[in-house]
Amino acid sequence: MKIAGMASNRGRNLLHIADTEPGGAEFSVVLTNEEGAPVIEGAAERGIPTEVVPKSDDETREEHERRVLQRLEGYDVDLVCLDGYMRILTDEFLDSAPTTLNVHPSLLPSFPGMDAHEQVLDAGVSVTGCTVHVVDETVDGGPIVTQEPVPVYDGDDAAELKARVLNDAEFAAYPRAVKWFAEDRVTVDDGEVSVDGDDGGQFPARRVVSDDRGRELRYGENPHQDAAVYVDGACEEASVVDADQLNEGAKALSYNNYNDADGALDLIKEFDEPAAAVIKHTNPAGCATAGTLADAYERALSTDPMSAFGGIVALNRECDAATAEAITDSFKEVVVAPAYTEAALDVLFEKDNLRILEVGDLSERSERLTEQHLVGGRLVQERDFQAPSADDLEIVTEREPTDEQIETMLFAWRTIKHVKSNAILFAKGTETVGVGMGQVSRVDAVRLAAMKAEEHAEGKDAEGAVMASDAFFPFPDGIEEAADAGIEAVIQPGGSVNDEDVIAAADEHDIAMAFTGQRAFQH
């Protein structure tokens, strides 16, 4: 698509569109009605032809616009984009030119005309934004193509608001509208605009996210980084963001505390049985389920008590005194649980800076999506709720796993979903034995898990354990390492081109193996 841009001053939106080329759109020309307008230099720097067509004092609007149209006739133009073009266009121009768009710095139909930002501030509204619309014979009244909201903060002045609307709203909305036109997705009919594919659903074509700042943090991941935590007020699921910190005198949670506590809470939500997890740097140092919460915690801790030092503890039951006593035997940063007995709080409160979070009922998992911020955007995906049953497993080896091993496989699979990839996890019963996380080589992850089980686990080892892998084994070497560690059963997704070789290696070492058919990456 070829664009003609028209501006009277800087034309910053036009230059931004030229830089981003939404939908592959390119400028054929930038035209201004002001001699020396800064947009001329900006366009020339980008290799865009320019035209200057000033209006003389004795010239009518119609006559001037005919000269503008004559200049445009020399260029291939599919769409006209205005940006601060300080003239009201006549019907004659609009009838002769291609579809013409303009961007207005408010959410039309509110605050049309000049001084939109001043009007917004005078009205005392809390949200403004911008509107991209088709230009018609009215003033800022043409059919709306798209809008983008911007908050108005207490203490804003017109200059601050103008800068935020330009950078946060116009630089998003105007290229979006141009992209839609370039992709031939826009229909303008009888004063109405429809956009093919501008739909809603789980992954809508456009997202508007509004969170409230919960609190500023002491610092981010490192002391030189400022940080804050924002709250989604519509979230109904138990979360650490909205949790009550019961010991108000303790220091507030840090950025890393929030991140780790969220990961720990997400892991123990996997289990119906009493469960405990110890998290360090968003990875499980250990996880277990048991008949009692105290036993679950002890088994989780014993996986890697050295790494658990300074970690985050999450529990899926009301914390009792016995569990609290076990937790306070070594240094922990945060405890997360749905509730606490008075006796448990008496124990936990003895530790001055052990943050105690009460998150409430864990039964509801209402948040369906998770997201990660990127520079320039966000990744959004469904949360990984997969929880295969025994019937979902495909046994691919000569040796069949025992019922106990299948139970361990299923526990290990729910847990490994929360281990950073490449991930390997050793388990016995329903407790972890060794965890190998965050390795760029799957063989190294196996070796790390084996080392953890051999050197760091207390009262347990890898002999006879089940191994879980979050993705397939590309070669048999991972199975060879597992056999050396004493592994007797493996659960993994399968799907490698070398599956037959991997299965053969398992058969050679008399290891039972099950495929899930789904991987469980966590990055």
Dihedral (Cα; 300, 305, 311, 313), 10-degree rounding: 20
Q: What is the pLDDT of residues 261-313, one digit of tens each?
A: 999 999 999 999 999 999 999 999 999 999 999 999 999 999 999 999 999 99
247 upstream amide cis, omega within 30 of 0: no
Residue 376 has pLDDT above 90, yes or no: no
Give the contacts of 225 (CB within 8 A, at least 6 positions apart): 219, 255
What's the whole-number mean pLDDT along residues 104-113? 96
For the chain, what percent of residues have pLDDT higher than 70? 100
Q: What is the pLDDT of residues 345-362, one digit of tens each?
A: 999 999 988 999 999 999
Q: What is the pLDDT of residue 378?
A: 87
DSSP 507: H
pLDDT band per the 50, 70, 90 thresholds, residue 363: confident
What's the whole-number mean pLDDT along residues 96-119? 96
The rounded mean pLDDT for the chain is: 94
| Residue with the two structure tokens 């089980």 | 453
From the list 64, 104, 418, 456, the catalytic residue is: 104
Question: How many CB atoms lie under 10 A from the CB of residue 189?
Answer: 8
Q: What is the pLDDT of residue 242?
A: 87
pLDDT band per the 50, 70, 90 thresholds, residue 234: confident
Whole-angstrom Cα Rg for the chain? 31
Q: What is the pLDDT of residues 3-20, one digit of tens each?
A: 999 999 999 999 999 999
Q: What is the pLDDT of residue 249?
A: 81
The CA distance from 18 to 1, in Å, is 12
Judge contact between 25 and 1, C-beta under 8 A: yes
Q: What is the pLDDT of residues 422-456, one digit of tens each?
A: 999 999 999 999 999 999 999 999 999 999 999 99
Residue 251 has pLDDT above 90, yes or no: no
Considering the entire predicted model, what is its pTM? 0.85
Residue 476 has pLDDT above 90, yes or no: yes
- Whether 104 is a known active-site residue: answer yes
pLDDT band per the 50, 70, 90 thresholds, residue 148: very high
